[in-house]
A = this chain, B = another copy of it.
């Protein structure tokens, strides 16, 4: 799978623009757990995921985390190049959740092409609107949904991503996704276990009743 076939508006760029991207493109292999972009300290560049999984999250002053969105094969990470958008005033941290192969387009190269290219700029608009939608979903979750529903939603999402009902995940990790404390997650999981929806054992959460979890999530 080549870069060109993963990059959506490739065919709508000029030959000159294409070669400027290819001349500056870097492919990187990232180990699971590596932080590849650290808030406003970095301007890593645009990331295009070839394969793997990234997590974008924010950190509180006390070191608490909450996941903002996740990126999968062929997804573009824009905010690792947020320095190219004057109006982007926020710090996102990006970490590899799995071993990940990705292409990096330096922010300056992307920005200079985007300034000239309506197709690339419109594509960037769509990417940003997609991320905006995810953040709005998050706001709704955090504002209106109780933690039991949010844990149910997270477990169902995770099972879909991992294609298994037996998740190897700690309560701490779930808490960091949801922006809460480990103790809260443990309490919620025990409640779900009491209701027969999950089975807990050391380092794993097994989904026993996806239908009931879905009903809880959607109420």
Footprint of B on A, CB under 8 Å?
A: 58, 60-62, 64, 66, 68, 82, 85-90, 92, 114-118, 121-122, 124-133, 135-140, 142-144, 179
Contact = CB atoms under 8 A, between A and B. Distances in A.
Nearest to A178: B143
A136 B60 contact: no
A68 B143 CA distance: 12
Contact of A126 (B87, B92, B135, B136): B87
A124 B87 CA distance: 11
Q: What is the copy number of this chain in the assembly?
A: 2
A64 B135 contact: no
Contact of A60 (B62, B121, B135, B143): B143
A153 to B, nearest CB: 15
A142 B68 CA distance: 14
Contacts of A116: 118
A139 B88 contact: no
B135 A87 contact: no
B126 A125 contact: no
A128 B114 CA distance: 15
B139 A66 contact: yes
A18 to B, nearest CB: 17
A50 B202 CA distance: 60
A133 B89 contact: yes
Contact of A144 (B61, B129, B136): B61
A122 B132 contact: no
A61 B66 CA distance: 24
Nearest to A114: B122
A42 to B, nearest CB: 17
A64 B129 CA distance: 24
Given A118-B118, A121-B121, A139-B142, 4 more contacts: A85-B126, A88-B133, A121-B122, A135-B139
A91 to B, nearest CB: 9
B136 A85 contact: no
B133 A135 contact: no
